[in-house]
């Protein structure tokens, strides 16, 4: 059985060089996507596709999304699954926020039934906000990662996740040991990495919560599983950096710690990377490590202003993400909105073409998954978001004056949220309209 989705089609094939770079994308005013077995098998003008498939039209389910925009599902490469009830916790910067709010909530994920219920809620939110792939930290408990991958599998989503490894500077209820962190991570890799659409990320939380022994064991895991991603945090907050340096006095700098344990390559995602020293920037470039910009979190926790252009000019590939629950919205559109403002304060510009490239193909490239997700090209996995640019009265009013595609995209970038997501397809199957209480 094939499905034909009709609408305005937009997919990027290269990073836009500016707001007028029409070479960087495919835009079809009356386009269509032909989907079969979870993959996009054709992307073309509607009339052309209908002509080509005249003989098997009876076999086609046609879904007409006009006048909405069809784009690849959004990719959120840094967020914390056990922080769904931490989001919007008042009045603290990073270290107090972790101790006062985050660790106590993460402790609850020892209970498999809590993990299971929260995994369901977490994935519902991703779908509601048009996010079809994500890279998530689970809690320290193996059962939280089991719940994460079980739910991702039930929904057939391309998901990357990992059990956090942390063996000091937190309550006992959220600590493992170098041995158990290694063994549990390995067991999870064996059970889930490459199973269905799941991938595993080796996940040392950050240097403050890992002893040298644990980072040694992490390095071994990375060596044993070179095709797994790795995720951790780097240089988010000044007090964090000072504490980290006091714990690893022999390291050249913060990034030097991860470097010393063999963690750096194009597989590592480094959350935040705000307050970097020149040597650290050189090492990021040399190792092809991937910084992840988390705008709503960086503003909410008062962490600082990410220097996107400064890293890009060194050839570094930056990703962009929500960082729930330090981040304040599941919406990648709202993430772009706040990202635009942070870069304004830096004297930099986030134009709408690059913004939408970033949360689709750009993030896919940062993950090395560009041949599977992030585009609507033939052969891609059929994760698709349907965008309604006039989803609120204020947006509809503003849209009356939009003359160009880039203007429409900027309205979505600044004003859009979950209401702008008319539908979310995962592997070719509509998911958002299935959610209870859904009004799209
Ligand atoms: N650094 C270490 N853990 C965390 C976390 O959970 N959130 C954020 N924003 N930074 C961290
Ligand atoms: Zn984080």
Q: How many CA atoms does the CB half-sphere of 244 hold within 13 Å?
A: 24
Phi, psi of 116 (to 5 degrees): -65, -45
Percent above pLDDT 70 for the chain: 99
How far is residue 140's CA from residue 163's CA, in Å, rounded to a whole number? 5
- Give residues (CB < 6 A) around ligand 1: 80, 94, 98, 102, 205-206, 233, 236, 297, 323, 326
Span from the CA of 233 to the centroid of ligand 2 (angstroms):
6
Give the count of domains, the chain.
Answer: 2
Ligand 1 pocket test target in 144, 205, 235, 273 with most atoms within 8 Å of CB: 205
- What ipTM does the predicted assembly reach? 0.99
Q: What is the CA 402 to chain-centroid distance, rounded?
A: 29
Report angle CA 215, 216, 217 to the nearest 5 degrees: 90
Closest CA to ligand 1's atom 11: 233
- Whether 409 is covered by a domain: the verdict is yes
Please report the beta strands in 81-236, taking only residues with DSSP state E, as ranges in sequence order: 131-137, 158-162, 164-165, 198-204, 229-234
Q: Does the pLDDT at position 46 exceed 90?
A: yes
Q: Does the pLDDT at position 438 exceed 60?
A: no
Q: Does the pLDDT at position 432 exceed 90?
A: yes
Atom of ligand 1 nearest to the CA of 325: 7
Same domain, 142 and 264: yes
| pLDDT for the residue numbered 343 | 98
Could you list the residue range(s) of the whole structural domain that residue 13 is in? 2-73+374-434
Residue at which a domain ends, from 313, 342, 366: 366
Residue at which a domain ends, from 328, 347, 366: 366
Please report the beta strands in 170-277, taking only residues with DSSP state E, as ranges in sequence order: 198-204, 229-234, 268-272
Q: Give yes or no for a contact between 217 and 182, defined as CB atoms under 8 angstroms apart.
A: yes
Residues 257-298: tens digit of each pLDDT: 999 999 999 999 999 999 999 999 999 999 999 999 999 999
How far is residue 84's CA from residue 107's CA, in Å, rounded to a whole number? 13
User: Which pTM does this prediction carry?
Assistant: 0.98
| pLDDT for the residue numbered 176 | 98
Please give the residue that has the higher pLDDT: either 58 or 386. 386
Q: Does the pLDDT at position 148 exceed 90?
A: yes
Same domain, 68 and 16: yes
Tell me which long-range contacts 224-228 makes (C-beta under 8 A, separation of at least 24).
Answer: 224/186, 225/189, 225/193, 225/200, 226/267, 227/193, 227/267, 228/189, 228/193, 228/199, 228/200, 228/201, 228/202, 228/267
Q: How many CA atoms does the CB half-sphere of 296 hold within 13 Å?
A: 22
Atom of ligand 1 nearest to the CA of 83: 6
Same domain, 251 and 398: no
What average pLDDT is seen over the chain?
97
Three-class SS of residue 11?
A: strand
User: Would you place residue 53 in the very low, low, confident or very high pLDDT band (cuts 50, 70, 90)?
Assistant: confident
Give the H or E element holding residue 3: strand 2-12
Same domain, 153 and 270: yes
Same domain, 334 and 196: yes
Q: Give yes or no for a contact between 316 and 74, defined as CB atoms under 8 angstroms apart.
A: no
State the CATH number of the domain containing residue 24: 2.30.40.10
Average pLDDT over residues 205-234: 98
Residue at which a domain ends, from 306, 341, 366: 366
| pLDDT for the residue numbered 58 | 85
Same domain, 384 and 288: no
Same domain, 348 and 402: no
**First-to-last CA distance in the chain?**
25
Residues 335-393: tens digit of each pLDDT: 999 999 999 999 999 999 999 999 999 999 999 999 999 999 999 999 999 999 999 99
Span from the CA of 95 to the centroid of ligand 1 (angstroms):
8
Phi, psi of 374 (to 5 degrees): 95, -5
For 44, 117, 242, 372, the CA distances from 151, given in Å and listed in that order, are 33, 10, 38, 20
Span from the CA of 256 to the centroid of ligand 2 (angstroms):
19
How far is residue 82's CA from residue 107's CA, in Å, rounded to a whole number? 9
Same domain, 154 and 95: yes
**Quick one: CA torsion of 289, 294, 299, 303, rounded to 10 degrees?**
-30
How far is residue 105's CA from residue 138's CA, in Å, rounded to a whole number? 12
Helices (H) and strands (E) in the chain, counts: 17, 16
Same domain, 415 and 347: no
Taking ligand 2, which is a single-atom ion, which protein residues have CB atoms under 5 Å away?
Answer: 271, 323
Same domain, 359 and 383: no
Q: Give yes or no for a contact between 176 and 215, defined as CB atoms under 8 angstroms apart.
A: no
Same domain, 105 and 211: yes
Average pLDDT over residues 24-47: 98
Q: Does the pLDDT at position 76 exceed 50?
A: yes
Same domain, 118 and 12: no
Closest CA to ligand 1's atom 3: 205
- Whether 440 is covered by a domain: the verdict is no
Q: Does the pLDDT at position 440 exceed 50?
A: no
- Whether 69 is covered by a domain: the verdict is yes
Residues 312-325: tens digit of each pLDDT: 999 999 999 999 99
Span from the CA of 376 to the centroid of ligand 1 (angstroms):
33
């Amino acid at each position: 059985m094939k499905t034909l989705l009709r609408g305005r089609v937009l997919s990027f094939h290269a990073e836009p060089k500016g707001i007028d770079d029409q070479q960087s994308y495919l835009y079809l005013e009356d386009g269509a996507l032909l989907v079969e077995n979870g993959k996009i098998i054709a992307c073309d003008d509607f009339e052309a596709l209908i002509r080509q498939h005249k003989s098997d039209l009876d076999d086609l389910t046609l879904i007409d999304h006009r006048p909405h925009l069809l784009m690849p599902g959004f990719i959120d490469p840094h967020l914390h699954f056990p922080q769904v009830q931490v989001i919007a916790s008042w009045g603290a910067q990073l270290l107090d926020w972790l101790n006062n709010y985050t660790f106590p909530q993460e402790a609850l994920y020892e209970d498999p039934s809590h993990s299971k219920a929260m995994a369901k809620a977490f994935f519902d939110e991703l779908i509601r906000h048009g996010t079809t792939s994500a890279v998530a930290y689970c809690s320290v408990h193996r059962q939280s990662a089991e719940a994460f991958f079980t739910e991702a599998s039930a929904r057939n989503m391309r998901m990357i996740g990992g059990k956090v490894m942390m063996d000091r500077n937190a309550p006992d209820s959220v600590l493992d040991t170098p041995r158990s962190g290694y063994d549990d991570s390995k067991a999870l890799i064996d059970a889930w990495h490459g199973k269905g659409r799941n991938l595993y990320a080796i996940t040392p939380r950050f240097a403050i919560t890992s002893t040298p022994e644990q980072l040694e064991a992490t390095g071994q895991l990375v060596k044993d599983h070179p095709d797994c991603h790795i995720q951790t945090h780097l240089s988010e907050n000044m007090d964090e950096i000072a504490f980290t340096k006091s714990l690893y006095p022999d390291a050249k700098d913060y990034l030097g710690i991860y470097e010393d344990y063999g963690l750096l390559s194009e597989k590592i995602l480094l959350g935040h990377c705000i307050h970097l020293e020149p040597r650290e920037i050189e090492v990021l470039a040399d190792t092809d490590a991937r910084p992840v910009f988390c705008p709503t979190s960086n503003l909410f926790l008062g962490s600082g202003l990410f220097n996107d252009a400064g890293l890009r000019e060194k050839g570094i590939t930056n990703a962009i993400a929500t960082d729930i629950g330090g981040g304040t919205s599941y919406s990648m559109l709202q993430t772009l909105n706040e990202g635009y403002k942070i870069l304004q304060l830096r004297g930099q510009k986030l134009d709408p073409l690059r913004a939408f490239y970033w949360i689709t193909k750009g993030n896919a490239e940062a993950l090395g998954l560009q041949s599977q997700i992030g585009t609507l090209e033939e052969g891609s996995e059929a994760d698709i978001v349907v965008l309604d640019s006039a989803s609120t009265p204020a947006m509809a009013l503003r849209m009356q004056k939009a003359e160009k595609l880039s203007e429409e995209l900027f309205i979505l970038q600044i004003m859009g949220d979950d209401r702008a997501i008319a539908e979310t397809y995962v592997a070719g199957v509509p998911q958002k309209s299935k959610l209870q209480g859904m009004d799209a």
